Amino acid sequence: MEQQQERIESIKAGLVGAIAFSGAVSSIWAMKGFFGQFPPISTSIVLYGSIEGAIALATGLLFGVTYRYIIRADENSHLREGAVFAFALVRTGTLIEQQAQETLNLIPWVIFGLESLFCFFIARLALDIAIKKQWVKPLQ
């Protein structure tokens, strides 16, 4: 495949990853809202949600592009699982690093880590389906 076509396939993989990852994040937000984990709607909450949404889209896009490069045309499940765990670990690690000075309460970090695993797993499933249906071609 020529270089321009590879770039287009990477963009497609990134878009699939962005949509799937942000959809998974949105479902977590909806569950948190349902169980009363969010404060009442305010300007700061809307701003926070917008920033979180943009970060989710960017994270999913980067995961999608990187995942396509990691797995290539290989059927090795360890590569697929390793990509999910690596991205979830980095995402969770940044939160721990940011908040370690403030609190050593592990429960929020564990929950965030599980949420990250869930979101990246959903993005992985979407990408695997897109590749299987040839909507996105694997890297050769």
Q: Please give the single-letter amino acid code of residue 18.
A: A
Question: Whole domain around residue 27: which residue ranges?
Answer: 3-132
Structural domains in the chain (count): 1
Q: Contact 117/84 with Cβ under 8 angstroms?
A: yes
Give the per-residue pLDDT at 66. Answer: 96
- pLDDT one-digit tens code per residue, 24-54: 999 988 887 766 665 656 666 677 778 888 9
Total H helices, total E strands in the chain: 4, 0
* Domain-embedded: residue 122: yes
* Domain-embedded: residue 138: no
User: Mean of the pLDDT values across residues 47-65?
Assistant: 91
- pLDDT one-digit tens code per residue, 104-140: 778 888 999 999 999 999 999 999 999 999 999 988 7
* Domain-embedded: residue 21: yes
Cα gap 93→97, rounded to integer Å: 6
* Domain-embedded: residue 140: no
Quote the radius of gyration of the chain (alpha carbons, Å).
17
